[in-house]
Structure 1
Amino acid sequence: MINFSLEGKIALVTGASYGIGFAIATAYAEAGATIVFNDINQTLVDKGIAAYKEKGINAHGYVCDVTDEDAVNKFIAQVTEEVGVLDIL
């Protein structure tokens, strides 16, 4: 049961293609947030997008290695341009 609203908010959850990250992102989506997630490779991102779609969630998935500072900066710039400014990390 959701007791709060994240309507209009954009949430980024790293590594949310499966597991705990997926569960957290799903809860945010159920509260109304737009979901952005990243993972280390395209296969995981594709699997994540499919899993969110099965739940009726339109998630935005990106490949990004969070150990690479330049990659993270490019990722955030791309997300900001394509989805909007992040509200939740």
Structure 2
Amino acid sequence: MKKTTAKSLTDKHAALIHSEQKTVISHVQREDGDWYLNTLLLKGIDVPFKYRRKKRYKSLQNQQVNLTYYPSTESVAGLDFEFMKVIRIKLS
């Protein structure tokens, strides 16, 4: 099966954004039912990046990553919070 490149994803979906060699300053994993919710904070960016995995993931803290994501919002107690929903993440 052919792997999808970041370029083909961003060409196909206009809302997607691709960033390379971003440094992770914080990586938190929390159980969410049968899934693990991963939250990343990147150096120089104030918005959290979130993604889900079936299994625990190795810590990405202080690692360089390439991300494909799109902006999203979630409502918590009537307040809207912006976050980035990660579609694809790879170590640089």
What's the TM-score, normalizing by structure 1?
Answer: 0.25
Higher relative contact order (CA 8 A, sep 6+): 1
Query: Which of the pair is proportionally richer in strand?
Result: 2
What's the TM-score, normalizing by structure 2?
Answer: 0.25
